[in-house]
Amino acid sequence: MKFCPHCGNKVADDASFCDKCGNKLTVVSRQAHKNFKPKQHKNLFFTLILIALVVVIGAGIYLFTSGATNDVSTKQPSATTSKFKQNETKPAKSQTKKVTAKNSVSKSANNSTIWNSSKNTKLENFMSSWGSSMNQDYDYFNPANQDNYMGYHFPDDFSKGNIRVGGSLVSVGWSDDGTGSNDYNVVAIYSDIDSDRNKGTMLAPHLYLFTIHEGQPVVLITQQTQGNPENAIYFNPTSNQDLSSQFANIVNNNQMTY
């Protein structure tokens, strides 16, 4: 038995050519075959190593390139995030504008007078209707038309400082718009004393002061007909809910319910 010196294939002793690789044969001893290391196997081994190196290098290049791409991707969201934050700032500005507009409306409302001629007319109409329902006839008094109540002329005599509310001495003064430095700023005075005088019934006339007290509408009433050692006129907040609530509605621009 002999072997092909090119590929190491077993061939017949009388074969002239290798039936595997076609190489021309010469006689090769078994010992020669034992020491034989085919060139093709060496070439295949080195080829595999080369392929492995190429794969490793290629993988390294891919990973490096992929890492660089990820770095770029990471930076881009950062820019997007920055842009988003800027967008968040813009709505905040818009919101500030809305708040400013709202405050502007409130300021405008505050600039409108607490009391004016329109509200005064509403109160006059209400007192006419309400007085009729109470079988009373009320007259309106102001600085140009003074009320003579038991010898006091209001609103001028408010300055005498002898008005008490709930027993406490208070400052009272006339106010065309409801503002002022007094404890009670009077915007309207109504009394049925002249009507009672004309009727000859002066038992318990009513004197109403429609006031603004600490920013709130308050209706004060007195029916005092006698003097006192303090020479004071005593008022109290009215207990008539229709009167107090309707005055509050007029002051606050609410719809009348009477």
* Three-class SS of the chain: CEECCCCCCEECCCCCECCCCCCECCCCCHHHHHCCCCHHHHHHHHHHHHHHHHHHHHHHHHHHHHHHHHHHHHHHHHHHHHHHHHHHHHHHHHHHHHHHHHHHHHHHHHHCCCCCHHHHHHHHHHHHHHHHHCCCCCEEEECCECEEECCEEECHHHHHCCEEECCEECCEEECCCCCCCCCEEEEEEEECHHHHHHHCCCCCCCEEEEEEECCEEEEEEECCCCCCCCCCEEEEECCCHHHHHHHHHHHCCCCCCC
Q: What is the pLDDT of residue 105?
A: 30
Q: What is the pLDDT of residue 201?
A: 66
Low-confidence ranges of the chain (pLDDT < 50): 28-29, 32-33, 68-111
- The 10s digit of each residue's pLDDT in 168-200 is 999 999 999 999 999 999 999 999 988 767 666
- The 10s digit of each residue's pLDDT in 154-165 is 999 999 999 999
Q: What is the pLDDT of residue 12?
A: 81
Look up residue 49 and give its two tokens. Answer: 């190593």
Q: What is the pLDDT of residue 46?
A: 73
Q: What is the pLDDT of residue 81?
A: 39
Q: What is the pLDDT of residue 97?
A: 36
Cα 61 to chain centroid, rounded: 55
